[in-house]
Structures are given as C-alpha cells and as structure tokens.
Structure 1
C-alpha cells in the first residue's frame, strides 16, 4: 500500500491528563509498522513480579484485587481494566475500571510526587462490565460499559462529584473514548464484530449532557477517505446504533483509542489491527496489521488498550498474545516493551503514564489465578524517552 508520513505533535493549552498524562512531541509516522529492534533494547529476565523489562526499568505492585491497597483502608476491585492518570498538584491519580457484571465500578489510587500511595477510593459503582474509557481535558474519566446498550459514565477522579450517566454519547457496546480538544469531539469505539467508530459532538464543549453522535462512513478497504454521518437514534432501540447509518464502516472488535496532534489511533482485536485516522485530510489507513509484518512472526497480537508517551511512541496492551505491552515508534517499528510471565490466562489492561511521563501504570486483569479476583495493578519506572 502507499506509505504516507504524518505528524504526532504537541497539543498546547490542554491538560496533560486529557491524553493519559502525556503530551506528544512532533515526530514523523509512517504506516503500517514493521518488526524491528525497540528503542529500549531487549527484554531481560523476569523480575520478582514476573515481568520482563528492558535494562534500567523496574516494576512494583500497586494493588491486588480483593486486598487492601497498602497505606489505605480501601479494598481494590476485581478485574481491573481501562485506566488513566490525572495530575494532582505535584502528584497524580490513577483511575481503574472494574470489568465485572453486575457490580462494575471505578476505583482511584492517589500518589504523591515520590510515587507513594496516599489514598484509594471508589468513584463509580453499580454499573456493568466497565471495560475501557478515556480522560477528558476538563479532568474527568469516561468509564464505558462493554454490554449491549451500554452507557458511558462521567466520573470525578477525586471522588468529590457524583458520577453522571451520559446518555447522549449513545447506547451500545462501548469500549474506549478519546478527547480531541481541537475539534471539540469525543471519539468512541464499539466492541462488536461489525462495530462502528463514532464521534460525539457536544452542544457545549466541556458539557456532555447533549450533542450529536455520528458514525464514520468509508469504503470497505484498509485505506481511503472518510466522512461522518449522524446517528438518528443514539439510544439504540429498537435499531442498534451501528445499523442506523448507511455506509458506516465496520470494524472487527473495536478496543483502545488514543488521540494526539490531529491523529486518532484505535485498535481492533478481532483482526489484530491498529487503525489511524488522519484528521487534517480525512483519510484513514493501517498503522499496524499482524498479517502485514515481514519478516514475522508478528510481535503484537491480541491488540487492546492503547496509550501514548511523550516521545510519540504508542504503547499497546495485549489481550492474549505473549502478555506483552508492545511499542510502535514514530519511525514505524513495533517491538515488545515488557512481558508478564506466568499469567497466560490473563490480559494486560489500562496502560497510562504519570503526568511527568516517568511511570507507566497497567494491570493484569486476572493475574496468576486466571480469575477476576486475581487482578494485579503494576507500576513500571525507568528511563522513558521524551
């Protein structure tokens, strides 16, 4: 396919929390990515937590499902999933969904500038299968229900304001969300084998109580131009949202979503792809496809949650595969960044960087037990490039 070059650059004037705690520096990006040596070198032997990391990086456990978070009185939730970081003075807050049904929730853990846990608490409860979501520029967390006619809940990472269900964002099998402050829209993925990719245009930016839901319209190929068409009935009943727009492009199992500098990336687990929308010229293409890696084998399979670092690198978690977080660099290389050993019945979820970019948070949803009660939330610290 034709290989075009695009930019991932800094977005000025918005909170770093809007992008999982990072800002993006300018970098050329070509697609689709190919197998090659990662910028951090080879993975070392597994550490005491069973994690293989490049030289100079270390891991620690922040929380375990069903256990009290150290230094607090709060018991961490089961099946930790999507997450994000929010600046909190000189420290930060990491929020994490609980993908259980019924009894879904969101928990938060607060850390000071030294990375010490100072508090943990609940910010949402009594929901269903909260999978991924996304941060907003006004410092709220959108927690998404991955069930038929699921909802998006807007939550307060500080736990002060009550969570609000945002029906205007549509009722469907929600997965992830990503805010685009330049266009003042929220992008949304749908975890169906014939799902759509959506954007929500709020009536007033910063207020998600009303607005317009649209679906991406494009051809059947893996590259080309796209447009948007309004979903007439966002509540998805009696006709599901994905079947209301003629010509809506279908995606096989929409998962993670990340926006930076006029580009939005999202993953589809059903075909192990990372898609790239180039918003300045309304074109789309593949940023990664495990069937197009040459030479193989493909390092990234079971593509799921995605976030970005200050260097412009994408970090993509695997649901399955080798239990890795893989990196796709701005110069078109895909490689493992870390691997969790001894947890083959789990999946990696919720990657997010601290606001200063020095710490990466994520979870193993089912840990060593293979059960939702065995989730483990980790922190990795090291010389992340900027």
Structure 2
C-alpha cells in the first residue's frame, strides 16, 4: 500500500464516502495462533479476549453490539432477510449512518427471504419494482436492505427492503456519487427452477443510499456483463468500475462508462491481461504448470475488449482467457484505496488458502493514451499459512490504510494486513460455524460493521482504533 501521507488518503476517503481519522499506530504482539516459523511478530491490537457471551472474540478495549437479526420485522413490514453479505456505508443526516446490505439468497430459500416462509408478505411488494417475480411463486429473494443507524444511541432507527427480485446478491461496492452497486453471484436463466424464473441473472444493480424507506426499481446494468459477479470498486478519479468474478478460473474486469457516474448509459467491458504474457495464470496452485506469479513485483498490464458480454452460455471468462486475459482463483472482495485498489482471491496460492492483489491504475487509465503509462498488478499477499490467513473474502481498507479481510470459513477471523505487509487478527467468530461477511467502516472510521452470515447477524464493533499499548 502507498504511504504517501494522511492528507492524500483523507482526500480519497472523503470522495469515496469514508472520512479518514488519519494514520494510526498499531501495536506489535506475539500472535499465539501463528506458527513461529511463519512470522514471529505481527501487528495488531493485542491478543483476542474470549467473549463471555460466546459469540465474538476481540482485543482488549473493543466491544460489539448486534444491531440486526434475520427474521425480525423491519420498518416497512417485511422481514429482515437472512444470509447478509457485502455492505457499504454512507453519511446520513445529523450524524446518522446509512448502511446498504446485500443478501445472498436463492429463490427457493423462503426461510431466508423478506417475504416469509410461505411468501405471505409477497403481496405487499410492488411487483413492478422487482426484477424477478418468478411468476409470483418464486421471486428473487436476494436483493438489499438499508439500515439507518444512530451511533449515539447505538440503535437502528429504520430498516427496509431497498432492492428485491434479484438472486444471490453477494458483494458489491460504493460509488463516489453516493450509491451502492450490488452484484448477483449467479448465472441462472429464464426457465430455470422448473420453468419458474422469468429473467436471466448475473448482473449488477445500482441502489441509492437513502434514509427514506423506499423500494428501488431493480434495473440491471447489462453493459457490465453477465457472469458470476462478486464485487466492484469505483475509481473516483475516472468513474471506471473494476469487477471481480467468483469462479475458480475467473477473470478480473473493468467497465469504462460512456458517461462518468451514469452507468446505465453504457460503456465498454474489458478484461485484464499481463503484458507480454497472454493467458497468464495467477493462481499459483501447486499442481499448475508454468512459472509462478511473483510476489511484491508490480507488473504492467493491458486490457482486452470483450464481446457478447451477455454470455448466454456463461462462457465470458473462457472466451476472455482464450483472447489472452489473465486467470484468477475466485475473485472476491475488492476496495479502492488511495489511487489503488485491492482484491482478494479466495482459494489462490500454493495451498489454495488465498491471495490479495493490488492494482494501481495508470495515469491515462481507460483512455487511448494508457499504453504510455500502463496500470500495474502486484501480488501483494500470499502467506500460504492457514493460521495466518485462509479463504479471504470481503475486503475493506481501514481509515489508517490497513486491509481488513473477512474469512469465508466455518471458524473465521477478521484478518488485518498493515501497510508494511504484516498480519493481525481483529476478530474471531466462536459462536457460529459460518463465515464473516461484508466488513466495512462507518464514514467517520469509528465503527466497523460486519455480518455473521449463516446466523443472520449484523454487528457494530467499536474500540480504541488509534491507541497504543
């Protein structure tokens, strides 16, 4: 990560909806969970203290509060859906925080949906605003909910269904213009589910960040392609959208909009390729032939135009790789930092435990002159030690520059990586055998929100983010 001072990072984070609290010192401590041979000292806030409630272990001085539970009645009369996933935060009125939250539900998971176990609340929804109604029998149960959180009272003042009729909304990303892009991690088609589905799926949708309890009309941004979308990150300088694909042989994409900030007006979808090394495999799996992708070595890239991006055969990644695009191991969370972005590959690396890549856009990114100063891709982290990092999924950049990674594992941690490339554990889920998801900071950097997905819980974590031992 760049360490070019607090001022430039503050400028970026304000543009992206997150206000910085500046660079903060982190303690050093001996991690009792790490192998001595791997790393003797790592950064962090000290050892994790066992939670007497048996839910979440945190460092000394930190605390959590459960602010939302699946199945409870929301402000609009619908039920809080289950399987909460990616989230974004935005500034609300009078210090309130707007949280837009994904739900990774399939159409037949009624017990996890907003409409009840027997679809009993479906009739209350405006069907014209749903993308998939499933003939009124099998509506898309993914979508998003929006929470309005008061950090003073530590209470959710409003919670409502903000996008509906979509499927398996996994992650997404905030935009500089104050909306949330939510992604379908599914490529099911019209006629699937025994003929009940009426739409093709595998798209990105835009949701406004609003305190008004209102269901937005679901409109797919088809120019961003149809594939197993995971997450997106938007460059505030150019409005270029970078996209990950949750496939073991996925690509890394970018969408160059025709009009900055107006994604529905179309644009060009491209895939990343390594200069001088067409169809490069970055996964570094032990049994793969060819040279490994090097760590901590920025490599110049180029971008390949993609055709037939609606991909009725779900083969966009295969065609892109054939044309020279690089291959990645399950691209997951992605976040834009200070003129650079980071994205996780859940099962990349020699032991398939995960990788983190950094991409720095070129000076003329997305223009006809970009070959004069190409963007650069770097394998930033690949520890190949599951006691340090395993199955990294959602990514967020802390206000002081660290990466925070949610592990997709039955015994997950939230893992931090400092600007110097050192690791630490911020949180441990001991209450439920299910992944962490959607970790994101509040706009002022004082609260870290995270989901325990299978339990249907959203938590707010607070603590001495800037203190030293």
- From the two aligned structures, give the one with the greater strand fraction: 1
3-state SS of the aligned residue for 2:317?
helix
**Partner of residue 306, structure 1:** 395
**Shift in Å, 1:243:** 2.7
Q: Aligned pair 1:80/2:151, yes or no?
A: no
CA distance in 1, matches of 2:386, 2:431: 21
Count of residue correspondences: 363
The structure that has the greater radius of gyration is 2
**Partner of residue 179, structure 1:** 234
Which blocks of at least 5 consecutive residues in structure 1 are unaligned?
A: 28-32, 368-374
**Shift in Å, 1:321:** 6.0
**Partner of residue 28, structure 2:** none
**Partner of residue 413, structure 2:** 324
**Partner of residue 274, structure 1:** 356
Q: Which has the higher contact order (CA 8 A, sep 6+)?
A: 1
- From the two aligned structures, give the one with the greater helix fraction: 2
3-state SS of the aligned residue for 1:38?
strand
Match of 2:271 among 199, 215, 231: 215
Match of 1:124 among 163, 170, 173: 163
Q: Aligned pair 1:261/2:327, yes or no?
A: no
**Shift in Å, 1:122:** 0.7
3-state SS of the aligned residue for 1:244?
helix
**Partner of residue 380, structure 1:** 461
- What TM-score do the two structures reach when normalised by structure 1? 0.87
- Please show how residues 40-79 of structure 1 align to structure 2 within 5 Å: 40-48=45-53, 50-68=55-73, 75-79=79-83
CA distance in 2, matches of 1:66, 1:365: 13
- What TM-score do the two structures reach when normalised by structure 2? 0.72
**Shift in Å, 1:238:** 4.7
User: For 1:49-79, what per-residue CA distance to the aligned partner results, in whole angstroms no more than 9, with x for missing partners?
Assistant: 511101111011011111236x886531111
Which blocks of at least 5 consecutive residues in structure 2 are unaligned?
A: 25-37, 108-140, 188-200, 281-291, 349-353, 363-373
Aligned Cα root-mean-square deviation (Å): 2.5
CA distance in 2, matches of 1:297, 1:193: 19
Match of 1:347 among 411, 428, 435: 435
Contact 1:123 1:163 in 2 (8 A): no
CA distance in 1, matches of 2:77, 2:301: 50
**Partner of residue 198, structure 1:** 253
Contact 2:69 2:458 in 1 (8 A): yes
**Shift in Å, 1:46:** 1.6
Contact 2:12 2:337 in 1 (8 A): no
CA distance in 1, matches of 2:204, 2:39: 35
